[in-house]
Amino acid sequence: MATLKKISAATAALLWLAAPQHAVAVPVVSTPTTTFFPAAPTIPPDEPVTNVTSHGPYTGTPTTTGALSTDVLAPSIPALPPPPNAYDYPSDGQLHAPEPAPYTPAGGQGTNGSAPVYRVLSDFDYESIALGLYQEWIELDLFHSGLATFSDDDFEKAGLTAEDRFLIEFMADQEVGHATLLSNILGPSAPNQCTYNYPVSNVREFIDFCQKLTRFGESGVYGFLNHLDSRPVGQLLLQSISTEARQQMIFRQFEGLFPMPVWFEVGIPQSWAWTLLAPYISSCPENQTRLIWQNYPALHILNQPNPVRINGSDVWNETTGGYTNTLSTKDVPAEQDCLNSTEVGVNCSPAITNNRSAPLSYAGRQVFLEWDEPGQPIGPNNSYVTNTTANPPVFAAWVSQLNVTYSPLQNISGNSAWTIQPNTSTFAGDPAVNGTIFLVLTDEDLYVTPFNLTQLNPHVYAVGLYQAG
């Protein structure tokens, strides 16, 4: 129980007065006392964090070993019909079983009173949480490094004040908590913090990279959360990732974008998240725990919409590279930059929300693509290798909200092609393709839904992020 170190004289008097006078009105105390000092409970230590001081690409000799693996039983998981009993429960609003206790409906998992254990239960759990931890570590370093690299003046020029910078600092602190939580779940073999290489050279590129990195961090977790064997672990991860979701939205606001142009947030397979994360890790410490996940080749979006432009879709080859396809400000002339415009619908200063009268993209837009070949070293110490088991791609899969929509690749010539941004909705009134979405190339237009999206993996050739809105 908390220790009350001091009770003020006024409060003591009140308690004394109140006791014999139950029936009459007790004087209303409208100014709460601030003289209680409960002792803090034991505070668990943070995972030790060292500020990464060096950034840049890995220059050592690649010690290529590829992803962690063991005996592989089959090239893919066969698609099966729904499990038996899937349609048995009537879903009619009536109760169909005795209640285990008052106000307690029958069913649910982890509801029978057995003590929850916050521990991974399978390779699936371990590899997924370890991936999440790699993500938390990069975010921690990224947020710090942006604050350390760019001056206050640089931030001010991008419209970001000292209070905004404190929010970024606070987000970095949140990552310390998340990294500590996931490290504690995994135990001593948990992956450590690495060194990183970011495709940014100014504040606006930094904010765009943060916005895109937190998008695949968030979506990467949504993709596996409900597949975890350990629901107690899932519970803790959920409570971390909902914080990450807020970070993603805040970075959109810092970028002057519409904060949430979708009705549903998308989930993606772990290998897509790892594909998008690994290129920005330059090296990890000796004996670092490795991951099982696949690194796909990069997708380059040649006319990736650029949020710093007044007409963001009127753009050619303005990214800092494939995979995240983050924006480059290098070739944007001042008169085409939306930051200093005073016009509503054009101005893109940091804000709670901005309308964009010229949308970043639209259904029917021709999108030009290029993709890399597999077999390239990538990731920490260049020790992973990009791979695909798909045939050469013939479709672009637009993965957003609840939907995977395929558009055929046109004019395929070597490793380039174009395609048309589809017109598709989740429900009436909600165009599915909006926000920061996932664009992957596939050899087949396989039907997949949010809970079995990973079934697409054997057909994926290249992975990128598309800035739809």
Residues within the interface to ligand NAG (CB under 6 A): 50-51, 60, 63, 79, 109-110, 112, 114, 144, 147-148, 157, 258, 261, 283-288, 302, 311, 313-314, 317, 334, 337, 339-340, 344-345, 355-356, 358-359, 361-362, 374-375, 381, 385, 387, 402-403, 424, 426, 431-434, 446-449, 452, 455, 468-469
Least gap, CB of 9 to ligand NAG (angstroms): 41
Nearest residue to 223 via CA among 288, 176, 270, 293: 270
User: Is the Cβ of residue 38 or residue 99 nearer to ligand NAG in the bound state?
Assistant: 99
CA 109 to chain centroid:
26
Q: What are phi and psi of 87, to 5 degrees?
A: -105, 10
User: Is the Cβ of residue 39 or residue 127 nearer to ligand NAG in the bound state?
Assistant: 127
User: Is the Cβ of residue 163 or residue 286 nearer to ligand NAG in the bound state?
Assistant: 286
Least gap, CB of 141 to ligand NAG (angstroms): 10
Q: Cα dist. 15→20, 34, 36, 132, 306 in Å?
A: 10, 16, 15, 51, 64
Least gap, CB of 19 to ligand NAG (angstroms): 47
CA distance 390 to 374: 11
Q: Which residue in the block uniquely carries the two structure tokens 């810092």?
A: 254
User: Is the Cβ of residue 23 or residue 410 nearer to ligand NAG in the bound state?
Assistant: 410
Least gap, CB of 95 to ligand NAG (angstroms): 20
Least gap, CB of 259 to ligand NAG (angstroms): 9
CA distance 61 to 54: 18
User: Is the Cβ of residue 193 or residue 434 nearer to ligand NAG in the bound state?
Assistant: 434
Q: Is residue 392 a contact partner of residue 415, using CB atoms and an 8 Å limit?
A: no
User: Is the Cβ of residue 167 or residue 358 nearer to ligand NAG in the bound state?
Assistant: 358
Least gap, CB of 8 to ligand NAG (angstroms): 36
On the CB side of 281, CA atoms within 13 Å amount to 31
Least gap, CB of 430 to ligand NAG (angstroms): 9
Phi-psi category of 91—alpha, beta or left, where left has phi over 0 and alpha has psi -120 to 50? left
The DSSP output letter for 104 is B
Least gap, CB of 49 to ligand NAG (angstroms): 6
CA-CA-CA-CA torsion sign (21, 27, 28, 30): negative
Contacts of 175 (CB under 8 A, 6+ apart): 136, 137, 139, 140, 143
User: Is the Cβ of residue 11 or residue 415 nearer to ligand NAG in the bound state?
Assistant: 415
CA distance 286 to 126: 20
Q: Which residue in the block uniquely carries the two structure tokens 């030790």?
A: 48
Name the E strands within 379-423: 384-385, 395-400, 403-408, 410-413, 416-420
User: Is the Cβ of residue 431 or residue 464 nearer to ligand NAG in the bound state?
Assistant: 431
Q: Is residue 60 a contact partner of residue 23, using CB atoms and an 8 Å limit?
A: no
User: Is the Cβ of residue 201 or residue 426 nearer to ligand NAG in the bound state?
Assistant: 426
The one-letter amino acid code at 110 reads G
User: Is the Cβ of residue 14 or residue 346 nearer to ligand NAG in the bound state?
Assistant: 346
Least gap, CB of 261 to ligand NAG (angstroms): 3
User: Is the Cβ of residue 33 or residue 391 nearer to ligand NAG in the bound state?
Assistant: 391
Q: Cα dist. 288→285, 375, 383, 451 in Å?
A: 6, 22, 11, 31
User: Is the Cβ of residue 122 or residue 340 nearer to ligand NAG in the bound state?
Assistant: 340
Q: Which residue in the block uniquely carries the two structure tokens 């399978």?
A: 122
Q: Is residue 234 a contact partner of residue 122, using CB atoms and an 8 Å limit?
A: no
> Exposed, middle or buried by CB within 10 Å (0-12, 13-18, 19+), for 342?
exposed
Q: Helix or strand or coil: residue 419? A: strand
Least gap, CB of 226 to ligand NAG (angstroms): 14
On the CB side of 76, CA atoms within 13 Å amount to 14
Least gap, CB of 363 to ligand NAG (angstroms): 7
Least gap, CB of 294 to ligand NAG (angstroms): 8
